[in-house]
Structure 1
């Protein structure tokens, strides 16, 4: 709790107390608050629990706090919560730290690639699913965790699917060790300090919670041997869905027209428009600002703020700030804003019905990003964003008849991406039979074989499909595409390591350049 000096104003203290009271009331008003005791009891009784929490239920922020208060962090254990996206891990951790009235990085922290805000005191840890996979390389039994919560599991990213298979295996190993009263096994020459410190202690079972906003929990329940599913009612206000009369040939232009139609004809409330990528967002942001300048002064107050994965974190946070009085905020987002993060003030959603997705052809070995129609599940998630704080409207820029033609759910990413990195990680974790690995949905045999073939050519695997020593082990430790990690390893032999580091760094991110709109001319 912050302390106020003798000279601190009474106003500051009153603002602080008012904020604390506001947070307490917000927490009590969440639908999940009424089932706290039941949820904690269910986690105690079941090693695996599926929680289907509708939009606005509060599951992401509240459940870890319930478990902490319920004693699941005894003996220094940690509750880990995975998120598919970095921005969700960061924003949720900041919110939970504020609710706990503690400094971020102490009791509550987050860990994402290139940014770790945790300490030895951290007991509630938010992280990306990919980062937990990296941790498993060093600690295969994930021994410091008492509970792992896989949030937004319905998104079915490649890391989520691999993580579910891995956690199922870890849970089985820890349950057997606990049942037989065994201690943590020695991990041989690769054991780390964490494992050494844990050896000689009884390995407690791992509690696993799968959280999804999708109402279809059966696939997760079946995968975990008929695990119990609990449904939590969401706090979803009514949302009016509006469709176009005619097909839209240019959804970007239709989005621009709809934004100004809402701004000039609808009541107060911020707008969230979904687009497919950075280029579209920057283009539309420029057009909005150009057109807003042509409006009468009383109607020209529009504040546009983008949010997409490659945008610097401090820029992403702008989307969560309130617009100045009398100004309408327009958030231009990719599907990063579909789930997890709640952007305050949104009353209107514009959904062009398109999304950028990864596609992979194992025959040619080519991976590409293509623009495809969203699934019904994605469209429902998007419209739900308009009803988080009050009644809202969703403008779908396609005909109602087109909605019925959409696929029910998105094809899992593991079925449409290059699996070389996945195969390498699994090999490093000691899983030799990749084809026989217990994936929730198995990728094609062709894709797996193509990945194995590429890893052999790169020298990461031996001819009998074992991880090579030392090259394979070195490659697995680098969080990079196998081709890039091999390039770095051999670069030192050719005395060009510094140059190769620069090349790989630039290839590993979308763009190293950020061109602020207000300094566009200077950057040209």
Structure 2
């Protein structure tokens, strides 16, 4: 047998030695064949050749790919196979969330049959799983902005894909403005290296007059790497293509049909006063009345998720033994990565999985097995008051686009149902799309990064949607007070440049710089680290009671331990 090595014994019996490598071959090839069949079955596979041709013909392409089309995993592979990574270039794919970058990179590496970190890798904050051989790189949009500080040309990239563009995070909006200008500079250089405004330096670097491009300013050396035109692809499952097409001068937009099964949408008869209680009731109604299938419940944050999870387990204990076949898993941004991966594991045989998630599960990740969605119709969003200079997280109604995106989660693998915990009349009152984050957040960190990239005229920067003048003025004043800007609103040196290199809120960056001068850096590092995360404690349900008893034994208020 091919999976075993045998040896003849004197007594005539045959003893078998387990050969681990050979024994895995049938499973390996079966897995590879299954992956290949899955890739061929994706809707986007039927238009692979045409998509590659359109990318080759257009510097900017907008792809509206419906849920389940396979755009995030397949398009980078199509481009790699078509030669877009020649001369050692890389295809960069941005994601608004870390968990999406990690999970998609792992899936693509598996499809390519390579070890993660070689041909396919990812870069997120505090974790870089790439190498010199990485050619398909999944990266958070914020981290790509940080890369631009060191490499203004983004020379290593031949193609940059902006995924989930509909979420309109502040990093995505700034990145679009930056990429638009970088793309123009690279294209102009390729067309005519001796054009007006450019000249050859003695060391071979390309210099550009400062007034030729207010965003990039003086272009830096490309460290000996050949420049090639930058291809830019903007894609999402729900995207207003006209806005992006207009921003990029009438860029071509294409639509890729998905594999979306019908989803029945149900509304409550009356408004619900307590959406958490209503969500719990709905979960148990589905569990007792509906066919098998996992349930995805959208909540606003960690506190709500842990509260609902605790209530579900308490209610399960009141049910008969044969009705307790329900398993809860959670996913939110501050959950450790290894815990986030649990949502992708199938439920035990005979059990129904209930996923309690924030809006991270709207589009960034695809969780298999979901047949039912419970949507309370709310989301936690950042809000900024430029007059008070205060930023906060508030619970607001979702947009229609978000509601539709959430319901689509139930129709990925078969017909599903979505239970919206509000009347249908309330749905009609929702905003059509989500307000861009850049219009509702503190811009100090954004402006500091733009200044470091050479964009001195913030009011004239080509944002896809400009933030309010009041917000820009307030942020400029804050940076001036912190010493990051000069009286002429230029980036100060060395304080401003040092602050820009730190991936922190400007206030925290300045605190670290001053702490170094006053010989208290270790203490300030601890304080800034604690202030930079939502919570330094992760409290799994299994150990919550034990930790609470320990705190009581210490007789220390919970708030004191938190900070």
Q: Same fold (TM over 0.5)?
A: yes
CA apart distance, 1:299: 1.2
Out of 123, 137, 140, which is 1:128 matched to?
140
Conservation of the 8 A alpha-carbon contact between 1:184 and 1:203: no
CA apart distance, 1:12: 2.9
CA apart distance, 1:70: 0.4
1:96 aligns with 2:108: yes
Aligned residue runs from structure 1 range 501-520, under 5 A:
501-520=525-544
The residue number in structure 2 matching 1:416 is 440
Residues of 2 paired with 1:500 and 1:441: CA distance?
37
Residues of 2 paired with 1:4 and 1:211: CA distance?
49
Per the alignment, in what secondary structure is the counterpart of residue 363 of structure 1?
Answer: coil
Residues of 1 paired with 2:222 and 2:450: CA distance?
25
Aligned residue runs from structure 1 range 340-351, under 5 A:
340-351=364-375
Aligned residue runs from structure 1 range 138-149, under 5 A:
138-149=150-161
CA apart distance, 1:17: 1.6
Residues of 2 paired with 1:81 and 1:283: CA distance?
35
The residue number in structure 2 matching 1:82 is 94
Out of 251, 272, 293, which is 1:269 matched to?
293
Out of 55, 68, 93, which is 1:43 matched to?
55
Out of 104, 121, 124, which is 1:109 matched to?
121
Residues of 2 paired with 1:358 and 1:197: CA distance?
37
Per the alignment, in what secondary structure is the counterpart of residue 122 of structure 1?
Answer: coil
Gaps of 5+ in 2: 6-17, 195-203, 210-219, 549-563
Conservation of the 8 A alpha-carbon contact between 2:160 and 2:230: yes
Conservation of the 8 A alpha-carbon contact between 1:184 and 1:202: no
Out of 310, 315, 335, which is 2:339 matched to?
315
My pick for the range that moved more, 291-300 or 439-448, is 291-300
CA apart distance, 1:14: 2.1
Q: Deviations over 1:211-237 (max 9, x none)?
A: 021252000000000000010001100
Gaps of 5+ in 1: 189-194
The residue number in structure 1 matching 2:511 is 487
Residues of 1 paired with 2:31 and 2:208: CA distance?
49
Per the alignment, in what secondary structure is the counterpart of residue 198 of structure 1?
Answer: coil
Aligned residue runs from structure 1 range 22-421, under 5 A:
22-181=34-193, 185=206, 198-199=223-224, 202-421=226-445
CA apart distance, 1:294: 1.6
Residues 490 and 125 of structure 1, relative CA distance in 2, 3 Å threshold: same
Residues of 2 paired with 1:484 and 1:160: CA distance?
23
Residues 148 and 4 of structure 1, relative CA distance in 2, 3 Å threshold: farther
Residues 454 and 215 of structure 1, relative CA distance in 2, 3 Å threshold: closer
Residues of 2 paired with 1:35 and 1:333: CA distance?
33
> How many pairs does the alignment contain?
517
CA apart distance, 1:298: 1.4
Residues of 2 paired with 1:92 and 1:462: CA distance?
43
Residues 179 and 306 of structure 1, relative CA distance in 2, 3 Å threshold: same
Out of 465, 476, 482, which is 1:441 matched to?
465
Residues of 1 paired with 2:92 and 2:348: CA distance?
36
Residues of 2 paired with 1:104 and 1:211: CA distance?
24
Residues 241 and 420 of structure 1, relative CA distance in 2, 3 Å threshold: same
CA apart distance, 1:111: 0.1
Conservation of the 8 A alpha-carbon contact between 1:177 and 1:184: no
Conservation of the 8 A alpha-carbon contact between 1:52 and 1:230: yes
My pick for the range that moved more, 11-20 or 360-369, is 11-20
Residues of 1 paired with 2:48 and 2:178: CA distance?
28
CA apart distance, 1:181: 3.6
Residues of 2 paired with 1:36 and 1:210: CA distance?
17
CA apart distance, 1:450: 0.6
1:461 aligns with 2:469: no
Q: Which has the larger radius of gyration?
A: 2
CA apart distance, 1:521: 2.0
CA apart distance, 1:9: 7.2
- TM-score computed with the length of structure 2 as normaliser: 0.90
Conservation of the 8 A alpha-carbon contact between 1:181 and 1:202: no
Q: Deviations over 1:288-341 (max 9, x none)?
A: 111112211111011100000000000000001111100110000000000031
Conservation of the 8 A alpha-carbon contact between 1:281 and 1:333: yes
Conservation of the 8 A alpha-carbon contact between 1:236 and 1:387: yes
CA apart distance, 1:71: 0.2
Q: Deviations over 1:227-253 (max 9, x none)?
A: 000100011000000100111100000
The residue number in structure 2 matching 1:191 is none
The residue number in structure 2 matching 1:21 is 33
- TM-score computed with the length of structure 1 as normaliser: 0.96
My pick for the range that moved more, 425-434 or 9-18, is 9-18
Conservation of the 8 A alpha-carbon contact between 2:443 and 2:472: yes
**What do you get for the CA RMSD once the two structures are aligned?**
1.8
Per the alignment, in what secondary structure is the counterpart of residue 492 of structure 1?
Answer: helix
CA apart distance, 1:203: 1.8
Residues of 1 paired with 2:139 and 2:205: CA distance?
25
The residue number in structure 1 matching 2:551 is none
CA apart distance, 1:202: 4.3
CA apart distance, 1:4: 11
Conservation of the 8 A alpha-carbon contact between 2:62 and 2:251: yes
Per the alignment, in what secondary structure is the counterpart of residue 57 of structure 1?
Answer: coil
My pick for the range that moved more, 492-501 or 378-387, is 492-501
Runs of 4+ in 1 over 4 A off after TM superposition: 3-6
The residue number in structure 2 matching 1:192 is none
Residues of 2 paired with 1:78 and 1:4: CA distance?
42
